[in-house]
Amino acid sequence: MTAEIKNTLLEIPGERISLRALRHGDIELIRQWRNQEHIRKWFKFSGIISEAQQQQWWEGYRQQDNDLMFIIWHKEQARPLGTIALYHIDLQAGSAEFGRLIIAAAGDRSQGFAKEASMTLIDWAWRHLPLRKIFLEVRHNNIAAVNLYKSLGFMETGRRDDFITMALTAGPQG
């Protein structure tokens, strides 16, 4: 089912942003975003990603039916702002992991773009996938991200090493 969605899903509209399904032409831009020190330090794998590694990741990504990644697109200015994803989608278990959230440029931060993108994706997921739980992991000292996730309703479910696990358990339709 997710494979079908992945192959047909092009865009999820929000108000100021839309979420556009990731294309091969995006992968170099997101590699450059992801390799910046101030961004990669927050991710579990915080090393530099080479072009070859990125290409290899793409080859795997396009074949996986449990991983949906999007470019966060500024509608009015018609330009990319960052990325967001739902992965480890397990329709049997009714769960998925939320992440790869980046608002790339400092000048685009603190304007509510990450929050709108997150709400747009989560709302879409509750409506289109039979999910009961969306979970995530975040570095405990990533204050911006932790605050954002709390504001979306995620509750802390545990801590391991430098990471907090959080979960959101009920969709709008309960």
Ligand X SMILES: CC(C)(COP(=O)(O)OP(=O)(O)OC[C@H]1O[C@@H](n2cnc3c(N)ncnc32)[C@H](O)[C@@H]1OP(=O)(O)O)[C@@H](O)C(=O)NCCC(=O)NCCS
For the record, the structure tokens of 38 come out as 């101030």
Going from the C-alpha of 67 to that of each of 100, 165, 167, the distances in angstroms are 11, 19, 18
Q: Does 164 bind ligand X (CB under 6 A)?
A: no
Find the shortest distance in angstroms from Cβ 110 to ligand X: 5
For the record, the structure tokens of 110 come out as 């603190």
Residue entry with tokens 């049997």: 92
Residue (62 or 150) nearer to ligand X, CB: 150
Q: Does 101 bind ligand X (CB under 6 A)?
A: yes
Q: Does 115 bind ligand X (CB under 6 A)?
A: yes
Stretch of 3-11, 45-53, 87-95, 113-121 contacting ligand X, by CB under 6 A: 113-121
Stretch of 8-16, 96-104, 122-130, 155-163 contacting ligand X, by CB under 6 A: 96-104
Helix (H) or strand (E) holding 156: strand 155-160
Q: Does 148 bind ligand X (CB under 6 A)?
A: yes
Beta-ladder partners of 95? 90, 133
Give the residue from 82, 84, 92, 22 showing the smallest Cα distance to 58: 22
Find the shortest distance in angstroms from Cβ 54 to ligand X: 17
Residues in the chain: 174
Size of the site for ligand X (CB under 6 A): 21
Q: Which residues bind ligand X (CB under 6 A)?
A: 39, 42, 99, 101-103, 109-115, 138, 142-145, 147-148, 151
